[in-house]
């Protein structure tokens, strides 16, 4: 069977969140449900938000079905029992909980064979004076538990200012929280395992407190992880391309397009998110807010226009 060279367009899945807002509608023009919508799952085959394909040969299939039924044709050479990445846009109108994610080994043992959750954040926009929490200051399980018990949050948590264009890699075991007034593009492993350390004692819409997972958090926190001084991107930009992160789970690049250029594809697929501007990808018109998958048979992305992309792959 010949490889498919069609770009794959997806219908995003939107999630109402206690801390969500309306910027997915006002900034990107998405048609979102009523209420506080916190997350757009833009490229996802996860059971909690499986995107449906729009147009082309595979119109109407879920991304998980495409992976299961047409992997050799669309994603030749891809490994694993599920589409490995999940791309989100997060609108934090309020603070997210203080949380931490497990690695693959812990999740496989304790979360029914799930992947762990390594993720990264590209700050699309934020309010003036906005901050973010990345890491914590306790050096042992006992010290962390003691500081939580005493409510010494400002002393425990490593908080730093953020600006549009900042980037943060969040490895499993890193205590973190996106805070109010922040719009973020997140690339992560296809996992939905989150351990909440603290949720500000705030009730949900039904008046209930959300579950905390302190014991699991204490198990998985990396007490030796270094804390970042800032999210400013230090990596060089070459011909418009900056490699923001490269690890065993994913590579994430920022691609700036001004005029015509080509981007090589040497992976089983590329996840492409247009974060500003407009133009064409392989002759198809795109604008800010469009997310698509370029399969392996698209050896080169032909790009044209004035736009900025986040491109991620395994």
Residues 220 and 172 sit within 8 Å (Cβ to Cβ): yes
Among the listed residues 252, 260, 245, the one whose alpha carbon sits nearest the alpha carbon of residue 301:
260
Q: Which of 196, 210, 254, 256 is catalytic?
A: 196
Nearest to 252 by CA among 180, 173, 168, 182: 168
Q: Could you tell me how far CA 33 lies from the centroid of its own chain?
A: 21
95-126 burial, b if ≥16 CB within 10 A, otherwise e?
bbbbbbbbbbebbeeebeebbbbbbbbbbbbb
**H or E element: which one contains 53?**
strand 52-54
Q: Is 196 a catalytic residue?
A: yes
Under 8 Å between Cβ of 254 and 309 = yes
Instruction: Answer whether 279's CB lies under 8 Å from 93's CB.
Output: no
Task: Please state, in angstroms and rounded to a whole number, the distance separating the CA atoms of residues 246 and 143.
Answer: 32
> Which residues have a catalytic role annotated?
196
């Amino acid at each position: 069977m010949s490889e498919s060279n069609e770009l794959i367009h997806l219908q995003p899945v939107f999630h109402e969140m206690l801390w969500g807002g309306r910027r997915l509608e006002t900034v990107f023009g998405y048609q979102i449900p009523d209420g506080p919508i916190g997350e757009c799952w833009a490229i996802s085959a996860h059971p909690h938000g499986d995107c449906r394909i729009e147009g082309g040969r595979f119109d109407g299939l879920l991304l998980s079905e495409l992976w299961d039924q047409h992997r050799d044709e669309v994603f030749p050479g891809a490994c694993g029992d599920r589409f490995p990445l999940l791309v989100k846009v997060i609108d934090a109108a309020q603070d997210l909980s203080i949380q931490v994610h497990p690695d693959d080994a812990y999740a496989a043992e304790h979360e029914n064979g799930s992947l762990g959750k390594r993720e990264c954040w590209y700050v699309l926009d934020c309010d003036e004076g906005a901050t973010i929490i990345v890491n914590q200051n306790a050096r042992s399980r006992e010290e962390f538990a003691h500081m939580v018990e005493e409510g010494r949050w400002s002393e425990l948590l490593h908080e730093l200012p953020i600006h549009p264009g900042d980037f943060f890699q969040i490895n499993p075991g890193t205590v973190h929280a996106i805070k109010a007034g922040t719009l973020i593009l997140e690339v992560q492993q296809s996992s939905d395992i989150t351990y909440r350390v603290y949720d500000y004692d705030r009730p949900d819409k039904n008046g209930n407190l959300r579950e905390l997972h302190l014991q699991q958090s204490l198990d998985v926190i990396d007490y030796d992880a270094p804390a970042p001084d800032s999210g400013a991107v230090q990596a060089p930009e070459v011909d418009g391309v900056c490699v923001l992160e490269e690890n065993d789970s994913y590579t994430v690049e920022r691609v700036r397009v001004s005029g015509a250029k080509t981007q090589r594809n040497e992976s089983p697929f590329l996840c492409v998110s247009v974060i500003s501007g407009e133009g064409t990808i392989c002759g198809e018109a795109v604008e800010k807010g469009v997310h698509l998958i370029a399969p392996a048979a698209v050896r080169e992305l032909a790009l044209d226009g004035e736009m900025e992309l986040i491109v991620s792959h395994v």
